[in-house]
Amino acid sequence: AQSVAQPEDQVNVAEGNPLTVKCTYSVSGNPYLFWYVQYPNRGLQFLLKYITGDNLVKGSYGFEAEFNKSQTSFHLKKPSALVSDSALYFCAVRDSGGTTDSWGKLQFGAGTQVVVTP
């Protein structure tokens, strides 16, 4: 079975400060990890993904994420937050284990609300 935990319901940060959104995962095989962002009354927008290779993944809008296998984590980071980054962020995992349970399915965390204040 695959699962994702986002331990913080909300993260508050001042504009210009670094932003980190935490994510830990559990899978039986190798993880494929994704970050999405959702603005009010909108669908999910893809930010970045880790499949294999370099542990530091760069994505859209200045976001990056670091894959840490030993800590089973995939934290999202941005060096300097903007007010426009205020949104709901979702981490998701898909297990490479090869069972049909992972086909076409992303397992999402509960989401972290990011609030960036001017």
Partner 1 sequence: KAGVTQTPRYLIKTRGQQVTLSCSPISGHRSVSWYQQTPGQGLQFLFEYFSETQRNKGNFPGRFSGRQFSNSRSEMNVSTLELGDSALYLCASSLGGLRGVTDTQYFGPGTRLTVL
Q: What is the DSSP string of the chain?
A: --EEE---SEEEEETTS-EEE--EEE-SS-EEEEEEEE-TT--EEEEEEE-SS-SEEE-GGG-EEEEETTTTEEEEEESS--GGG-EEEEEEEEETT--GGGTT--EE---EEEEEE-
- Of residues 23 and 111, the one with the C-beta less far from partner 1: 111
Question: What is the smallest separation between the CB atom of 14 and partner 1, expressed in angstroms?
Answer: 27
- Of residues 81 and 114, the one with the C-beta less far from partner 1: 114
Binding to partner 1 in span 16-35, by CB under 8 A: 32, 34
Residues that bind partner 1 (CB under 8 A): 32, 34, 36, 41-46, 49, 51, 90, 94-96, 98, 100-111
